[in-house]
Chains A and B, each alone.
Chain A
Amino acid sequence: MYVYDEYDQSIVDARVEEFRDQVNRRLSGAMTEDQFKPLRLMNGLYLQLHAYMLRVAVPYGTLDSRQMRMLGHIARKYDRGYGHFTTRQNIQYNWIKLADAPDILAELATVQMHAIQTSGNCIRNISSDQFAGAAADEVADPRPWAELLRQWSTFHSEFTYLPRKFKIAVIAADEDRAAMRLHDIGIQLLTRDGVLGAKIFVGGGMGRTPMIAHEVKDFITADHLMSYLEACLRVYNRYGRRDNIYKARIKILLHEIGVDAYREQVEAEFAAIRDLGIDPPVAELERITAMFAGPDFATDAPDTVDRSDPDFAVWLDQNVAAHKQPGHAIVTISLKPIGGIPGDASADQIDLMADLAERYGHDELRVTHAQNIVLPHVRKADLYAIWTALREAGLAEANLDLISDIIACPGLDYCSLANARSIPLAQKIGERFAGRQRELGELKLKISGCINACGHHHAGHIGILGVDKKGTENYQLLLGGSGAEDVSLGKITGPGFDEDGVVDAIERVTDRYVELREADERFLDTYRRVGMQPFKEAIYG
């Protein structure tokens, strides 16, 4: 894992003290809310329905047990005993007092954490593959590049006031576990003729105008990756619209001028800046990369697991993935208990996950964009002990990628932008399908409480969008989306439903899927084969 040097630490410490002064001026009345709002947002502090909300960055979703314990400590000391892990691999606290915010940031800084780049029209927290460094299918560990991007983008003076927020994801495998092509820039590391480089996708995103990122560069060698990205951002910063917030994202720029015109501009800019020293010296990249060297895996770890406990075997099959190192495995801890709140974890649960990482997992954890937690490096011999501890803490739901493993935004229960509640719907769906979810197989369901799409509804095999219909909650149903390597955007089925109605509609959709599927075909594959019509008929008659 990356360890701050004196520059990283001093930047974060200075930011805490700067914000402390800003908060004091606001509390004293020296600043108006209009003056203060952009400052607090630059420190991750929002004002939501019931209180201030603090969004803490978890860079590329990676943290150690000490940092995880700090998240639990903050939940316990400053919030109401829990936190909410988000689709940006971050964590949010819902009940923060303004006066406490500087102290929270100061405590975070002691474990090399912060809330920078979690709001505002800057380059946001870089996201990545939660299996980085553990997956057998990656060509390189994407985290050194994500860390380099973090350092490059932190307080980048040219890119602090972009036309709109800007999200970047880095992956290094063909399997896309980070919804890479639904980011403003998606980077896929790959090798060509033995040389490490990247394919660059630009202009993806969800929100009110969902788009899949276009391939803008087939291959850029790693030694020029940063200068190429700088060129991508410069063109956006120059031509991106600032007159209309709804047309300000880079996806709209590409849509309006076309991919080829954008590419031409980027190439021209790249030619002008590629030799200006924007790319890091080899020594700096090596310094960062060395910190992500994998742990010393036991080479004699047994590669077999006792599956005699049937409940454990179910969890093993559902939530445990193959590791690149024999005798080891990747565990995904579901934060989606049936009837629970997707992404929420109590302070005690956060502490427990930290303890397990420290004891069994080489001290590493990851936050996934699907709002779960990963222990990326555990010995297979320890899986039963891990599962037993998780089960006692209510964290052993065996539902990864099943219909109850729902991505859901906080919705109208917490969010000031939302039009409808997401969480109660997730709870009802989880309860309705708990008994037959394994029969349905992989089925990714995603719920957003408004058109901003924080719940990734466009990318759900089944997506739900909550809208306001004359003051009451109404839910539109979408089918056929995917955020994975087979990326696609869901299509609306037709007229919307009330809360119970949409749960019934999903049941009719899944019933029709079971009738139509061939062999072990996933829901998404059946949908793609047969199209929308059979499902529309099932829903609306």
Chain B
Amino acid sequence: MKLLTGNDLSTGDVVWWTGRDWSRHIEDAVDVGGQGEAILRAEEGARRVNVPYLIDAEATEQGPRPAHIKDRIRALGPTVRPDLTLKPADADAGAWVI
């Protein structure tokens, strides 16, 4: 599957395209399929998100899992500060990255 991601203009937060808007949570991301480039160009014009780009991901029972470790770290947060990730209460969250 293909996901569209970027960083929110105002906060810098990592965000994912949900089909209608942007979410901080990768679980909300949708497969943009062949529409990725068109959505990307439209969102660049909207200037809400910095440097949006398309990535490959795998659909899993837990939700989309980016193919590259860099995007998995972006989706979760720094592996060395679990308290600052999006899942601070999940002790196993780091394993999802590796």
Q: How many residues of B contact A (CB 8 A)?
A: 22
Find the A residue at minimum CB distance from B48: A29
The reply to whether B51 and A99 form a contact with Cβ atoms under 8 Å apart is no
Query: How far apart are the CA atoms of A94 and B84 in the complex, in Å?
Result: 11
Query: How far apart are the CA atoms of A424 and B95 in the complex, in Å?
Result: 13
**Measured between C-beta atoms, what is the minimum distance from A132 to chain B in Å?**
32
Other-chain contact of A52, B12, B51, B81, B84 (Cβ < 8 Å): B12
B9 contacts partner chain A, Cβ-Cβ < 8 Å: yes
How many A-B Cβ pairs are below 8 Å? 67
Query: How far apart are the CA atoms of A414 and B73 in the complex, in Å?
Result: 9
From known contacts A47-B50, A80-B84, infer whether A421 and B79 are also in contact, taking CB-CB under 8 Å: yes
From known contacts A413-B80, A423-B80, infer whether A98 and B69 are also in contact, taking CB-CB under 8 Å: no
The reply to whether B9 and A51 form a contact with Cβ atoms under 8 Å apart is no
Other-chain contact of A50, B14, B51, B67, B80 (Cβ < 8 Å): B14
The reply to whether B12 and A50 form a contact with Cβ atoms under 8 Å apart is yes
- Which residues of chain B from 1 to 55 have a CB within 8 Å of any chain A CB? 7, 9-14, 47, 50-51
A32 contacts partner chain B, Cβ-Cβ < 8 Å: yes
Other-chain contact of B73, A80, A95, A413 (Cβ < 8 Å): A413
The reply to whether B69 and A49 form a contact with Cβ atoms under 8 Å apart is no
From known contacts A98-B9, A412-B70, A412-B73, infer whether A49 and B14 are also in contact, taking CB-CB under 8 Å: yes
B9 contacts which chain A residues (CB < 8 A)?
A: 26-27, 33, 98
Size band of the interface chain A makes with B: 20 to 34
B10 contacts which chain A residues (CB < 8 A)?
A: 27, 97-99
The reply to whether B7 and A51 form a contact with Cβ atoms under 8 Å apart is yes
- Which residues of chain B from 59 to 89 have a CB within 8 Å of any chain A CB? 67-70, 73-74, 77-81, 84
Query: How far apart are the CA atoms of A414 and B14 in the complex, in Å?
Result: 12
A427 contacts partner chain B, Cβ-Cβ < 8 Å: yes
**Measured between C-beta atoms, what is the minimum distance from B55 to chain A in Å?**
12
- Which residues of chain A from 1 to 51 have a CB within 8 Å of any chain B CB? 26-27, 29, 32-33, 47-51
A157 contacts partner chain B, Cβ-Cβ < 8 Å: no
The reply to whether A472 and B73 form a contact with Cβ atoms under 8 Å apart is no
The reply to whether B74 and A47 form a contact with Cβ atoms under 8 Å apart is no
B11 contacts which chain A residues (CB < 8 A)?
A: 51, 97-98
- Which residues of chain A from 406 to 420 have a CB within 8 Å of any chain B CB? 412-414, 418
The reply to whether A50 and B78 form a contact with Cβ atoms under 8 Å apart is yes
B binding-site residues for A, Cβ under 8 Å? 7, 9-14, 47, 50-51, 67-70, 73-74, 77-81, 84
A binding-site residues for B, Cβ under 8 Å? 26-27, 29, 32-33, 47-52, 80, 94-99, 341, 412-414, 418, 421, 423-424, 427, 471-473
**10 examples of A-B residue contacts, CB within 8 angstroms:** A27-B10, A29-B47, A47-B51, A50-B77, A51-B13, A412-B70, A413-B73, A413-B81, A414-B78, A473-B69
Given known contacts A50-B74, A51-B11, A94-B78, what 19 new A-B pairs fall within 8 Å (CB)?
A32-B47, A33-B50, A47-B12, A50-B13, A52-B12, A95-B84, A97-B10, A97-B12, A341-B80, A412-B69, A412-B73, A413-B78, A418-B70, A423-B80, A424-B79, A427-B80, A471-B67, A471-B68, A473-B69
